[in-house]
Structure 1
Amino acid sequence: MSAESLHRSATALLTEWAPAERGERSLREAMLAFLGSAPRGCLREHAPGHVTASALVWSHDGREVLLTLHPRVGRWIQLGGHCEESDETVADAALREAVEESGILDLTLEPGLSGAQAHPITCSLGQPTRHLDLLFRITAPPGAVPVRSSESTDLRWWPVDALPEGADIPLP
């Protein structure tokens, strides 16, 4: 568990990911180049930007996605957050964040990368930076009832075909 294992996992995920769209392929290459120049680029301390772990939490039947109304961002987004040195991989960080932010314990992480996004943001560093989100698909068990954490203004299931206005959620 270290910055090195997080970096290796992020690099492997992006190398193995084969996005269909040109824009996603370009983002993939940019993220790989970033990681090539930033050995600690998976940690929040890397102020110019850092890899973050995002969790697209789906209902057991795939009809709904769990979104949080983020207090700092001010809109509905997927769950997730910063990698920590105690995380072995970025996927581990995504699952940890999903459990912490949803209160749902028996989540199932699907293998591989679901997608990627890049966002300019002023996060907990207090200065403008970039979040380079690696997205993972996670499935909740039947009957899962989310519990809002202190990191959220609101938390709820949204039908995939009726997401809230302004949500920037990359769904397949």
Structure 2
Amino acid sequence: MRWHNGPVSITIAHLREHLTAYLHRWPESECEVRPLLDLDSPSGFDRSTVPGHVTASAIVLNAADEVLLIHHRALDRWFQPGGHLEPGDESLPAAARREAVEETGLGALELLDPAPIHIDVHPIPANPRKGEAAHDHYDVRYLFRAAGTDLTPAAAEVHAAEWRPVGDLDSDDLIARLKSY
């Protein structure tokens, strides 16, 4: 597990390009996306930025249309794989792919759409052990298809990784959107 508090190579222009593509497809989501559209500094990608910062997640489907979920150690909940942006991440989808591979041990992941499938704003509780105040994650989610199904969870970050029914995802909007693919 790598913890990073420095600048990333992803730009505000890149984020806005992806948000524009997202809103073109899902215009009803403008209220949730507004805080991201208002970002004007690369510090919005830095994990130390409060009240919130951008993260990237992978919604990964297998051939049976099951979704990959991880059980997060710190939050004690099932989520899609994802996390903070790091130097070297060339794009938001690349960051989502990297996180999914790191957390689950999956190999090849095919990006099914270059535009995000979902954007979610969710609170993260304070973590005194890491010196982090409570904050929000502006989670930009991308849809991938996995070539294989063998999982090797990264024990430092997750308790488990499993293929689960799509209905186990944390958002009814996201579940509905998956039906359009």
TM-score normalised over the length of structure 2: 0.81
User: What TM-score does the superposition give when structure 1 sets the normalisation length?
Assistant: 0.84
Unaligned runs of 5+ in 2: 1-6
Q: Over aligned residues, Cα RMSD in angstroms?
A: 1.9
In percent, how many aligned pairs have the same letter?
Answer: 33
CA offset at residue 21 of structure 1?
6.1
4+ residue segments displaced more than 6 Å: none
From 36, 46, 51, the counterpart of 2:49 = 46
Which of 98, 102, 105 in structure 2 is aligned with 1:103?
A: 105
Q: Whose helix fraction is larger, Structure 1's or Structure 2's?
A: 2
Secondary structure at 2:88 match in 1:
coil
Q: Deviations over 1:27-57 (max 9, x none)?
A: 1223211x13x33201213232110001111
Between the two proteins, the alignment pairs up a number of residues equal to 162
In structure 2, the CA distance between the partners of 1:50 and 1:135, relative to structure 1 (3 Å rule), is same
Q: Could you tell me which amino acid in structure 1 is paired with residue 72 of structure 2?
A: H
Q: What are the equivalent positions in structure 2 for 1:20-39 lying under 5 Å apart?
A: 20=26, 22=28, 24-33=29-38, 35-36=39-40, 38-39=41-42
Find the aligned partners of 1:73 and 1:116 in 2 and give their Cα distance: 19
Which consecutive residues of structure 1, in runs of 5 or more, have no partner in the other structure? Answer: none
- Kindly state the Cα deviation for residue 85 of structure 1 after the two structures are TM-superposed: 2.0
Distance (whole Å) between structure 2 residues aligned to residue 82 and residue 125 of structure 1: 16
Instruction: Report what 1:5 is aligned to.
Output: 10
Residues 1-172 of structure 1: pairs in structure 2 closer than 5 A: 3=8, 5-18=10-23, 19-20=25-26, 22=28, 24-33=29-38, 35-36=39-40, 38-61=41-64, 63-110=65-112, 111-122=114-125, 124-141=130-147, 143-150=148-155, 151-161=157-167, 163=168, 167-169=169-171, 170-171=174-175, 172=177
| Aligned-partner Cα distance in 2 for 1:85–1:7 | 15
